[in-house]
């Protein structure tokens, strides 16, 4: 029996329908999550923003700056979540052009996946393979300045807003006391 030649193997590989390759390449090119909605606010209760802040925002001494996010997870994000049992979404606070805090994971943790797995699967099935997830982060006692949040998906790829898929999403707010 003759061994397969590399050219013959390559030919078989190229017989994969192009539509499958393009779909996988397009999915790989887009972030696994996109922001649907966000709010800088005074607090978050039951995964909803409370006391939305305008820009500029006045905070009292000791008051925290909260960022509430409603993110949409696409099909590649759902595959990642199902295979690893978690979906990290990293957030880093910055002020006046400088990153100030270490990255924190505000995504779906393994314990959240265990608790909400059936609901997430149902929402994804109803939504054509995508679903929304609400999360938040806060910044303790901010001082005066222009604050922003850099948000990255599990592959450390910058997240976009669903309405502006070609632009990076980096919400900003000016804080004064």
User: Do residues 121 and 81 make contact, with C-beta atoms less than 8 angstroms apart?
Assistant: no
pLDDT, position 30: 66
**Domain total of the chain:** 1
3-class secondary structure for 36-48? Answer: EEEEEEEEEECCE
Q: Is residue 69 part of a domain?
A: yes
Q: For position 173, what pLDDT does the model report?
A: 95
What pLDDT is stored for residue 157 in this prediction? 84
Residues of the chain with pLDDT under 50: 1-27
In a domain, 101, yes or no: yes
Residue 26 lies in a domain: no
**Radius of gyration of the chain measured on its C-alpha atoms:** 21
* 106 is a domain residue: yes
Task: Answer whether residue 53 is part of any domain.
Answer: yes
| 1 in any annotated domain | no
Task: Write the pLDDT tens digit of every residue in 96-105.
Answer: 999 999 999 9
Question: pLDDT tens-digit profile of 110-151?
Answer: 999 999 999 999 999 999 999 999 999 999 877 899 999 999
Give the CATH number of the domain where residue 59 resides. 2.60.40.10
Output the pLDDT for position 32: 86
pTM of the model: 0.80
Asked whether the beta carbons of 32 and 154 are under 8 A apart, the reply is yes
| 96 within a domain of the structure (yes/no) | yes
Torsion of CA 38, 41, 44, 46, to 10 degrees: -60
Please give the pLDDT value at position 26.
Answer: 45
Q: What ranges in the chain are assigned the alpha helix state H?
A: 6-13, 18-29, 75-84, 110-126
116 part of a folded domain: yes
How many residues are present in the chain? 177
By residue range, what is the domain housing residue 153? 32-176
């Amino acid at each position: 029996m003759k061994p397969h030649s590399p050219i013959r193997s390559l030919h078989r590989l190229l017989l994969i329908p192009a539509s499958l390759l393009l779909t996988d390449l397009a999915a790989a090119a887009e972030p696994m999550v996109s922001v649907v909605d966000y709010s800088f606010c005074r607090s978050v209760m039951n995964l909803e923003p409370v006391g939305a802040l305008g820009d500029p925002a006045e905070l009292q001494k000791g008051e925290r700056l909260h960022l509430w996010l409603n993110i949409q997870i696409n099909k590649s994000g759902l595959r990642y979540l199902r295979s690893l049992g978690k979906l990290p979404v990293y957030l880093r606070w910055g002020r006046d052009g400088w990153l100030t805090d270490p990255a924190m994971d505000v995504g779906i943790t393994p314990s959240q996946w265990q608790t909400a797995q059936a609901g997430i699967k149902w929402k994804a099935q109803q939504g054509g393979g995508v679903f929304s997830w609400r999360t938040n982060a806060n910044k303790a006692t901010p001082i005066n300045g222009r604050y922003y949040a850099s948000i990255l998906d599990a592959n450390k790829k910058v997240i976009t807003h669903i309405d502006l898929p070609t632009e990076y999403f980096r919400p900003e707010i000016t804080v004064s006391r």
